[in-house]
């Protein structure tokens, strides 16, 4: 049964329509990727799921419950976490404080120390820098912090919006191995990436979004073979 089912959602920015009835579903325990050209509506979709943007139409079924237009702080309380585009860490707080904010949720508060240990284990670099002010971290470290902060929320579904953006190749590699590791521990992952090559390698399932609509969906391996996808998104 699907953990998340997005049904025919539409979103407007003022008068401009960004999503035209997007539908897809994410199975428990899977890693699912959304790919598409820039401006296709991937970020918009993730934000809409979180309640950061109001839906004009459609339903979002999560754990058999419609969470469409639920305020964001309640959505995350249900176990959905978004690692936003551009990291959005709290610049003046220390690394550890950033992580602690992650466990502000009621669902995560009790597991605070356990999760903290887990994050530090996953990202030893963050452990080294726990007292450092977040804004002085390098881009890669900030990305780790953002992921770590998301994990502190003890999510069931983690959504990542272009986590490799602007990172050095060596770090990009690290980020992807972290995502693989997360999936291995049983977390459900919804990933938006422009690094389509690597994404298709780690995702079980993939949807293609074009101009605010899902135009294709399938197993990653199948899509990798699909000539239209290869031409549009892989540069072949």
Contact between 43 and Mg ion per CB under 5 A: yes
Q: Are 103 and 111 in contact (CB under 8 A)?
A: yes
Contact between 148 and other proteins per CB under 8 A: no
In the numeric block, the tokens 């979709």 are attached to: 45
> Which of 39, 124 has the CB closer to ligand ATP?
39
Q: Are 193 and 35 in contact (CB under 8 A)?
A: yes
61 binds, among ligand ATP, other proteins, Mg ion, none (CB under 5 to 8 A by kind): none
End-to-end CA distance of the chain: 36
> Which of 81, 103 has the CB closer to Mg ion?
81
Contact between 86 and ligand ATP per CB under 6 A: no
Which range in 38-46, 54-62, 100-108, 214-222 contacts ligand ATP by CB under 6 A?
38-46
Residue 43 Cβ, how far from Mg ion at the closest point, in Å?
Answer: 3
Torsion of CA 146, 152, 158, 159, to 10 degrees: -30
Q: Are 158 and 189 in contact (CB under 8 A)?
A: yes
Which residues make up the interface to ligand ATP (CB under 6 A)?
Answer: 13, 16, 18, 36, 38-44, 136, 138-139, 166
């Amino acid at each position: 049964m699907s953990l998340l089912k997005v049904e025919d959602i539409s979103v407007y920015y003022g008068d401009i329509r960004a999503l035209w009835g997007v539908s897809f579903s994410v199975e428990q325990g899977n890693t699912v990727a959304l790919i598409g050209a820039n401006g296709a509506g991937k970020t918009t979709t993730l934000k809409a799921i979180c309640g950061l943007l109001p839906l004009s139409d459609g339903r979002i079924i999560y754990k058999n419950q419609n969470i469409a237009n639920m305020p964001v702080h309640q959505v995350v309380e249900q176990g959905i976490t978004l690692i936003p585009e551009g990291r959005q860490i709290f610049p003046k707080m220390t690394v550890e404080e950033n992580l602690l904010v992650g466990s502000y949720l009621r669902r995560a508060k009790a597991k605070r120390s356990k999760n903290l240990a887990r994050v530090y284990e996953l990202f030893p670099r963050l452990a080294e820098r726990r007292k450092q002010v977040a804004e002085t971290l390098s881009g890669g470290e900030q990305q780790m912090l953002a992921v770590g902060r998301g994990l502190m929320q003890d999510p069931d579904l983690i959504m990542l919006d272009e986590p490799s953006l602007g990172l050095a190749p060596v770090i990009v590699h690290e980020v992807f191995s972290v995502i693989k590791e997360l999936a291995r521990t049983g977390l459900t992952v919804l990933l938006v990436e422009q690094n389509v090559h690597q994404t298709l390698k780690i995702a079980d399932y993939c949807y293609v979004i074009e101009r605010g609509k899902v135009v294709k969906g399938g197993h990653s391996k199948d899509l990798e073979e699909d000539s239209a996808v290869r031409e549009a998104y892989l540069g072949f």
